[in-house]
Amino acid sequence: MGAIATALLFYAVPDAEFDQKKEGATRYTFSTLLLPDRPADRTIKVRKSDPWLWGKALPAAAVVLDRSLTLPGTPFVIGGDELLSLANSKKLIACQLTRTVTVGLLGGGKSPICLIDRDGDGAFDGWYTSSVPVYWNGETAGHIQSDDIRAIAPIRPRTLGPEELRAADASKKFSIRYVHGELTFCIDANNAYCLSRGAKMHPGPAEQTVRFMRGEFIYRKDEDGMLVISIVQDPKEAVY
């Protein structure tokens, strides 16, 4: 699990700083729903970088389109059954979850496509490529200027209900881990996104208790540096 050491942690930038740089831009963030699997064992022994348990990561809210959409002048198609993560924003914005497009001067960047309702009538009428992770905890904000939005014919979304969302296939995995002195969660197998403000921990030979995601864990470090974890209470689903 050497990727832990190189995990990318994103931090919030104060809104005032954004306002100075992005005056007139529309601000948006994303929230993620974590659905823990029930652990198979009540007591486990792991290396410091290994997961304690894992589960499913989904957008906290999602929509689908009422038909497939081909973006004008591009080869990009958003299917009518493709889940789009609904953003937290004053405007209706939804972005792709599982696919990205090549962007940038030399084509080295990858970005999700986002749809936006510019006039507030409940239908998407523009699109752009996002510069922020779709799966995150609401701390990393994107800002889009109106000049960067390209027009499309209006198309209406349908919001998924709670049970439909939880059964969706367009999900990623998350794991609860001990990272950089914190009990936290990371999304994706390569730990690309890790929460930057988890529960602080100081493992030692004496048993200690930590609570995270409304779960309760007793932990200690044994003589060979391994962590011995007793799961007292399973974590609950939570939105970050």
Instruction: List pLDDT tens digits, range 194-233.
Output: 876 788 899 999 999 999 999 999 999 999 999 999 999 9
What was the pLDDT predicted at 191? 58
What was the pLDDT predicted at 150? 94
What was the pLDDT predicted at 116? 97
CB-CB neighbours of 142 under 10 Å: 23
Q: What angle do CA 163, 167, 172 make, to 5 degrees?
A: 125
What was the pLDDT predicted at 140? 80
Q: In this model, does residue 120 exceed pLDDT 50?
A: yes
Which of 238, 26, 201 is CA-nearest to residue 126? 26
% of the chain residues with pLDDT over 70: 82
Q: In this model, does residue 122 exceed pLDDT 80?
A: yes
d(CA 116, CA 119): 9
CA distances from 201 to 126, 141, 157 (A): 46, 28, 43
Q: In this model, does residue 21 exceed pLDDT 90?
A: no
